[in-house]
Structure 1
Amino acid sequence: MTSSGSAAAEPRGRFGRWRDQAVALGWLVVVWCLLWGEISWANVVGGLLVGGAVLLFFPLPPVTFGGRLRPWALLVFVGKFVVELVVASIHVARIAMQPGYRPRGAIIAVQLRVPTDLNIALTAEAVTLVPGTLVLEVDRAAATLYLHVLDTHGPADLELARERTLAVEQRIVRAVGSAAELRLVESDPAEKGTTQ
């Protein structure tokens, strides 16, 4: 019974690895075509060759998806992300256009509540895409993002940036996280982040 169960689990595990590799290869081809600025047969074939070489010679640790896609929460995440993107872009443009104004930057540490590789990567990417905030370093073991925040005037601005980052993490987990991950981000707000 045990041997047949493990034999049945092995093909599923192998299929999962092949599926993950195929998805990664697909994304690498998309990125390759975007870098060249056009989609052509030559770029697709070149992307397949380069992507295959990258996956063969520089294998990444497997990132598994154990969550569940929630369409409404995903829509909320996208909507709020677009609003934050527009508001932050206007703010950074105003800083750039204001003569003589020298914004003060700061570096803060934000400890995420869900320490999975996928959550750390998605949160870091979403935070970095919003103008005025940049991820400088990721401490994978501690699930901590080190962010450079533009135009800070005091501790209240730093705490606001920390809370915004944790809110982004919460929206991502609500959209694609597992039930256990959802419980982590819905816990007591006093447990949020670090105060470094």
Structure 2
Amino acid sequence: MSASDAAPPASPDRRTRTGRWRDQLIAFGWLVLAWNLFWGEFTWGNLLGGLLTAAVVLLFFPLPPVTFHGRLRPWGLLLFGGRFVVELVRASAHVARIAVQPGYTPRSAIIGVRLQVPTDLNLALTAEVLSLVPGTLIVEVDRDAGILYVHVLDVRGPAALAASRDQVRAVERRIVEVIGSDAELRRVRTGSVDKEFP
């Protein structure tokens, strides 16, 4: 077989369409799963309702494309889960101590942290993980600039603000270590940040 007989490579447009359909199919599956979880049980009626609801949502309210260029690293996922549980317990104990400590008034702050991998997926996952930990809450996301604005509890002085920023970047780094591409992983490990925010 000659080189001219070989099948031509897929065009970029075709690859883009294929990736878009794959992303839509994944979103469809997640919407169906979420629908059934909201109802609290898996039945044929809930499955049918989820299929119809997911189809209507994706047809009339199309989601923005969220592409995934990384790969899942099981060891990184295991480390992420263990570290998340430790931080969850520690933060819960800290918030509980503040709540029961007589006469103590915690000081709060809102900090802006520019993520090193400002993709939609990384912004969403980092914001979700931070919101699950007591004492931190996402108040705004600047998608264009890749900045998370985080409300942090019990902050006293510049050192505590710097530690809070480091915590956000550590969460981002651990997420990228689970699902990021090799280039994204190199980027978060260099620790370069363009700009600080008060």
Give distance in 2, aligned partners of 1:81 and 1:193. 27
Unaligned runs of 5+ in 1: none
- The percent identity for this pair of structures is 61
Structure 1 residue 55 corresponds to structure 2 residue 58: yes
| 2:86 aligned residue | 83
Match of 2:193, as an amino acid?
A: E
Unaligned runs of 5+ in 2: none
Give distance in 1, aligned partners of 2:188 and 2:194. 9
Residues 91-125 of structure 1: per-residue CA shift (max 9 Å, x gap): 12222233443322110000111121111111111
| 2:196 aligned residue | 194
Match of 1:17, as an amino acid?
A: R
| 1:44 aligned residue | 47
Which of 35, 46, 69 is the aligned partner of 1:66?
Answer: 69
Residues 65-99 of structure 1: per-residue CA shift (max 9 Å, x gap): 11122221121111111111111112122222334
Compare CA radii of gyration and give the structure with the larger one. 2
- TM-score computed with the length of structure 2 as normaliser: 0.87
Corresponding residue SS for 1:30: helix
Match of 2:130, as an amino acid?
A: V
Q: Compared with structure 1, are the counterparts of its residues 118 and 190 closer, same or farther at alpha carbon in structure 2 (3 Å cutoff)?
A: closer
Structure 1 residue 153 corresponds to structure 2 residue 156: yes
Give distance in 2, aligned partners of 1:178 and 1:109. 25
| 2:145 aligned residue | 142
Deviation at 1:193, TM superposition (A): 6.0
CA contact (8 A) 2:116 2:192 kept: no
- TM-score computed with the length of structure 1 as normaliser: 0.88
Q: Compared with structure 1, are the counterparts of its residues 100 and 23 closer, same or farther at alpha carbon in structure 2 (3 Å cutoff)?
A: same
Structure 1 residue 19 corresponds to structure 2 residue 22: yes
Match of 2:96, as an amino acid?
A: A
Corresponding residue SS for 2:96: helix
Give distance in 1, aligned partners of 2:42 and 2:87. 31
Q: Compared with structure 1, are the counterparts of its residues 100 and 61 closer, same or farther at alpha carbon in structure 2 (3 Å cutoff)?
A: same
| 1:126 aligned residue | 129
Give distance in 2, aligned partners of 1:178 and 1:102. 43
Structure 1 residue 101 corresponds to structure 2 residue 92: no
Match of 1:63, as an amino acid?
A: V
Give distance in 1, aligned partners of 2:81 and 2:194. 23
| 1:111 aligned residue | 114
CA contact (8 A) 2:135 2:152 kept: yes
